[in-house]
A and B are shown apart, each in its own frame.
Chain A
Amino acid sequence: MNMNTGVSTEHIHAASETVKKLRSEIAKAVVGQGRVIDQVLIALLASGHVLIEGVPGLGKTLLVRALAKTFSGTFSRIQFTPDLMPSDVTGHAMYDLKSESFKIRKGPVFTNLLLADEINRAPAKTQAALLEVMQEKQVTIEGKPLALDPPFMTLATQNPIEQEGTYPLPEAQLDRFLLKIMIDYPDQNEEYKLVHNVTSNQIGDAINVDETNAVVNAEHIINLQKVTADLTVDSRVSEYAVNIVRQTRNWPGISVGAGPRGGIALLRAGRAAALLNGNDFVTPDDIKSIAIAGLRHRIILSPEMEIEGQTPDTILENLLDSVDAPRI
């Protein structure tokens, strides 16, 4: 009766413990924002990319630096500006006078964790270059394909204010992100702790991830991703995810619903959520817990809802309230 796949239960529990350690190490540097840390870890485990939306100064860079440090991974950051060129992201070939040959200079995407800050400030051409890298996980320079070292994860950020002079990401490209994470202000206690931590025994306000220790290495992360991908998903749970996605297409208030990629994202992220919760199987709860983050950037609200000031989150909450959870 047990339909468990290749990975043993012990293996899964060990993986789950490792993930918990990762979480607690990141939490040492990033005070509060527990939900955001969880969702970033889910995306990492599911080998996806995330789009983080929030006002500046909420610790997005700190989060990425801390995450990179926990698995001794490399980290780079690109500040997207209107004059950023695709080659600034991916890299380019340059003529070396000494060797009289073209040499390839790799761009900042050749890293484990890439923070694409304010991705909507760069023109469509540059955005497309990055999104292609995210999808293909390889870069072609001078006709030569160069694969990125796994694990590779992009954390793109967007600012909900100051929309002037930006190039909003088209829906088709938003689809490439596994989750869209909303980062909000910390609550009072968390903020107090944060301010205290940052200002004690420190010169300036530089990002400090000294307290975060490396728990695993990049290899381990790849293993964790494999374990995640092998978690048991009952057909009823898959059906539940598909039902949610299909419902977005008929729901009043949503003019364009999520495509099949939405359902795929829900299952991938649901598996990672289950591992994060210490389970070796996926339950409808796991799917429901990441459904909003997994779908909010894949739907387009109808103009009436936009005018009424409804957000995708409230619409999706109502929608989830109407989809029957699976039972026998």
Chain B
Amino acid sequence: MQLENMTARVRPRQTWEAMDLGFMLVQKWWAKIAFSWFVFTFPIFILINILLHDHYIWAMIAFWWLMPIFDRIPLHIISRALFGEVESNKKNLKSIVKVIFPHFIKMLTFLRFDPGRSFNLPVWQLEKLKGHARAERARVLKKMTSGSAFALTFMCMLIELIIFISLLALVFLLVPAAYTEALADALSPTAIEDSWWGGVSINFLLYITFFIVQPFYVAGGFSLYINRRTQLEGWDIEIVFRQLAQRVGKSSQYAAGLALAISFIIGGAFYPSNESVADEKIGLETTSSGGSLDNAGARKAIDEIMAQKEFGEKKTVTRWRAINKKDKKEEKKEEKKETINADWLSGLSLGLGAIGEVILWIAVAALIVLAVVFYLRWGPTASKDSLKINKKLPKSLFGLEITPESLPDDVGRAALALWNKQDPILALSLLYRGALTTLVHHYGINLKGSATEGDCIRTTYIHKEKLRQGSAEYFKRLTQTWQMAAYAHRLPSEEEIIQLSEQWTPIFGGHS
């Protein structure tokens, strides 16, 4: 890195101004950046779209995911060009291959969503530090600048969105009005999964958007990085001295010696490199060419210079200041009080923090328990039995008692006995009640109080699969006989009721 070769004027800038410098750099080397970016990314774009040809949205997400890798291309070109190493496109391509792969996995996994990526990328790619050293370096550099780097990311996202929508609008503007509706249908998020050209078109528009914005994003972050280093390392001063040294070196050695002596005095703190020490020595030697000057003499000369008006001036400044009326004792008390308060406050905040953490963990545990309960109850593996256990089964329905306990052991036989006792309505009622009890209690079929006989029949047909064979048909026959007796007051024949009673046990019996 040769600072004197820098092609841009370096000075400490405001962050926004620094980003502007980055944008200027992209404009200057746009052709080279665009060429390399296109050559590297376009084949990948095509490949991804072919591989994921049924899922164009996923194709675009995959391409977007690789963006940190693609960002290295403009960074590589700009960083070299800034220090005067402008290469041909061919050489650029060759050198890019070397920088594109380091930290590949990290960049695409946990660093993928780093909001300050454009600023951190130069630290990774150009400084090539590792581990703790890199983290320390990044921490120092980030101070005062990370906010701007975040803002840059956010702004670039917005600009990408605007450009994408503008491109889309442009397409619609150029398409004849008769086709705009069809085009809108084809480009809708649901339709692009079905039509390949719709998906590819949208992806291509996004590609163009990235193509336009991404180099500016990287360059903005890079110039922020350069600016930060300029602030920390005084690059601008170093460059000025170097230029000065070059200039005076060509004219008189004496002047150069003087200038470098001054540079030693003033700039020494900023520039403690071996080079400058060497220059200092040269300067001293040059000065001594007029006569020998020992250390004491030199000190004297320096003191004289320092005693001059420009260096040793003393000034009295008068200004208003608020007078603290409290005496020192009170001040001390106050300080102590404040410390106590602060202790108490910090204790309180710690306590609150601990309570908050406990509450948070309880909430997490409750959520997990809820999720498990929901899964067991309504999840795909929820068994009918779990439903049955959890549900409170009705004890009476339509004014009939339908608990298993209220039924005789053998409903069919009990009904026959009632029939023999010349109580046909009670016999039918028992059969019907028994059937309903079995449906509700054994099969867990939900019958509402408002369900008419017809509704009950329909419900049994819906659940036909889980009932014994012929249950639904039997229940329908039973219900119709029951309706006839109840609403038409027509009693079934003896044969009919005997048949119903005998069939009851094989179909609904044996569950209690």
Contact = CB atoms under 8 A, between A and B. Distances in A.
Interface string A309-328: 00000000000111111111
B487 A281 contact: yes
A97 to B, nearest CB: 63
B490 A325 contact: no
Contacts of B183: none
A284 B489 contact: no
Contacts of A280: 488
B453 A283 contact: yes
B489 A288 contact: no
Contacts of A279: 488
A265 B491 CA distance: 29
Interface string A231-269: 010101100000000000000000000000000000000
A234 B483 CA distance: 11
Contacts of B400: 327-328
A302 interface: no
A4 interface: yes
Given A321-B448, A323-B450, A232 B398 contact: no
Contacts of A237: 487
Interface string A174-196: 00000000000000000000000
A328 B486 contact: yes
A4 B484 CA distance: 12
B489 A327 contact: no
A88 to B, nearest CB: 45
Nearest to A321: B450
Contacts of B297: none
Nearest to A285: B454
B484 A324 contact: no
A232 B488 contact: yes
Nearest to A231: B488
A260 to B, nearest CB: 22
B193 to A, nearest CB: 26
Contacts of B450: 320-325
Contacts of A285: 452-455
A113 B156 CA distance: 75
A122 interface: no
A284 B397 CA distance: 15
B272 interface: no
B433 to A, nearest CB: 8
Given A283-B483, A325-B398, A234 B489 contact: yes
B451 interface: yes
B99 to A, nearest CB: 62
Given A1-B491, A283-B454, A325 B449 contact: yes
A3 B491 CA distance: 11
B403 to A, nearest CB: 16
A282 interface: yes
Give the interface size bracket for A toward B. 20 to 34
B399 interface: yes
A2 interface: yes
B489 A328 contact: no
B429 interface: yes
A286 to B, nearest CB: 9
Contacts of A4: 488-490
A328 B429 contact: yes
A106 to B, nearest CB: 44
Scoring B398, B450, B488, B489 by chain A CB atoms within 10 A of each residue's CB, the highest score goes to B488
A281 B399 contact: no
Contacts of B491: 1
Given A283-B454, A285-B453, A321-B448, A326 B398 contact: yes
Contacts of A283: 452-454, 483, 487
Contact of A328 (B399, B451, B490): B399
Contact of A2 (B451, B454, B486, B490): B490
A236 B490 CA distance: 16
Contacts of B452: 283-285, 288, 325
Given A281-B484, A325-B398, A328-B400, A232 B451 contact: no
Nearest to B485: A1
Contact of A325 (B451, B484, B488, B489): B451
A282 B487 contact: yes
Contacts of B451: 325
Contacts of A234: 486-489
Contacts of A1: 489-491
Contacts of B397: 327
Interface string A288-322: 10000000000000000000000000000000111
Contacts of B483: 281, 283
Nearest to A324: B449
A245 to B, nearest CB: 15
A229 to B, nearest CB: 16
Contact of B398 (A2, A321, A322, A324): A324
A321 B449 CA distance: 8
A324 B398 CA distance: 6
Interface in B418-468: 429, 448-455
A327 B447 CA distance: 14
Contacts of B448: 321
Nearest to A287: B452
Contacts of A282: 487
A325 B447 CA distance: 11
Nearest to B399: A327
B443 to A, nearest CB: 20
Contacts of B429: 328
B453 A284 contact: yes
Contacts of B454: 283, 285, 288
A283 B451 CA distance: 12
Nearest to A319: B450
A322 B450 CA distance: 6
Nearest to B449: A324
Nearest to B429: A328
Interface in B476-507: 483-484, 486-491
Contacts of A324: 398-399, 449-450
Interface in B173-212: none
Interface in A184-239: 232, 234, 236-237
Top 3 nearest A-B pairs by Cβ distance? A281-B488, A327-B398, A285-B454
Given A4-B489, A234-B488, 17 more contacts: A1-B490, A2-B488, A3-B489, A234-B486, A279-B488, A281-B484, A281-B490, A283-B454, A284-B452, A284-B453, A288-B452, A321-B448, A324-B449, A325-B398, A325-B450, A327-B399, A328-B486
25 contacts: A1-B490, A1-B491, A2-B488, A3-B489, A4-B490, A232-B489, A234-B489, A237-B487, A279-B488, A280-B488, A281-B483, A281-B489, A282-B487, A284-B452, A285-B453, A288-B455, A321-B450, A323-B450, A325-B450, A325-B452, A326-B398, A327-B400, A328-B399, A328-B400, A328-B486
